Every structure is written in C-alpha cells, then in structure tokens.
Amino acid sequence: MATDWSLKGTYFESCNCDVVCPCIFLHPPTQGFCEAFPAWHIDEGYLGATRLDGLNVAVWLHAPGALTDGNWKLALYIDERADETQKDALTQIYSGQVGGHPAVIASFVGELMGVKSVPIEYRVEGRQRTLRIPGVGEAEMEAINGENDKEVTVQNHPLAVCPGFPHVISETQKLDYSDYGNQQSVSGTSGLSASFAYQPD
C-alpha cells in the first residue's frame, strides 16, 4: 500500500446545528444529534503515483450525540470522473487507511453505509457555496457578513475538519439529503468552509 500522499484544496459543510455550530467547541449538537453534508474539492493531490487533482469528495454523516462520542453513520461519495485507481485511492484516504487527519475523522465512524461514484457539483461563487449530487442531495450556504463587510471566521477551535486553517462561518439556506434510508431537510442552520491540507502523520 502506498503511504506517500497529499491533498490540498477547499472544503465546506452544512449541518443541522444552529449558527454557530457548537460541535467545533466540543459542545453537544444543537438538537442533540448531528447530521452534516461536507464536501472537498482537491486542487492538488496524489496517493503514490495516482494523481487526484480536480476531483471532488463528499460525505453525509449522522452522529447520535456529541461528535467525539463517535458511533457515526457515514456515506462516502466519490467524484464519478475518478477512474477505478483514483476511486480506490480516495477511498483509502477518506476511510483513514493511510493515516493523517482523515484517519482521525474516520475513527469516529461506527458504520460506513456505502461508497458510491456519483456526479458531484462543487461550486464557490463569492460568499456562496453550493453542493449538488443528483438523486442524493444538495446544500446551499452563504458566508455571514461581519464587521467592516468582512467574513466571520473562527480558528484554533478544538474540533476542526481542516486543522490549521481559519473556518468561515456561514448560514445554510438549504440542506436536503435522501439516501440509504436517511432523510434530512433543513434551512437557516450552520455552515462552515475552509482551505485544507492533509498528509500522513
């Protein structure tokens, strides 16, 4: 198994918590459980000799309590443009098989519901971010306007999808998901976005 790997790009997620998400400060989710729809766009990436530039990855997760309590249910969605070698590489990385921060995230998963190759639309236009997976779900969010017309950010929080990078606080305008027998439909809830850089420990 190749262990030389790196991913760099951008990420965003919508979830069911009120703005601002308490989970990133190690507090319980607003509703007692967390349901989130994160996505990553890989600007530059590789696992061994396999290039992963330009591909997208998304997950949907349900955590029955505080995120750090684990026992998540998670579905993994891989960009349909990825060939079988690229799909296998991304599955290895995002399932935590090759270490790094994805392995920390994967350690909280109790049930991997499945891995699917799907078309993933990942779009960033100014302060607006959109994720669409046909037949599965979609999320739309917009960065909150802060002091002096700047984006509101938080950093150095104890639970981070993208350690070392400031996270922009957004409001989710729409989050709909339907797959693996799970249904979610919320609006006016929390959203986060950031750059990311993952590599082995």
Q: What is the mean pLDDT of each run of 10 residues along the chain (201 residues)?
A: 86 96 94 97 97 98 96 98 98 97 97 98 97 98 95 95 97 98 98 98 82
Residue 39: CB atoms within 10 A of its CB come to 25
Euclidean distance between CA atoms 119 and 102, whole angstroms: 22
Contact predicate 169/153, CB 8 Å: yes
3-state secondary structure at position 9:
strand
d(CA 26, CA 29): 9
Q: Are 9 and 42 in contact (CB under 8 A)?
A: yes
- Residue 1: predicted pLDDT: 47
Cβ atoms of 129 and 193 within 8 Å: the answer is yes
Contact call for residues 51 and 88 (beta carbons, < 8 A): no
Which of 12, 35, 58, 4 is closest to 161 using CA atoms?
12
Q: What is the pTM of this model?
A: 0.96
CA dihedral 136, 172, 129, 35 (to 10 degrees): -40
Looking at residue 3, its pLDDT comes to 81
Give the pLDDT confidence of 105-162 residue by residue, as tens digits: 999 999 999 999 999 999 999 999 999 999 999 999 999 999 999 999 999 999 999 9
**Residue 25 — φ and ψ, nearest 5°?**
-105, 20
Helices (H), the chain: 84-94, 101-106
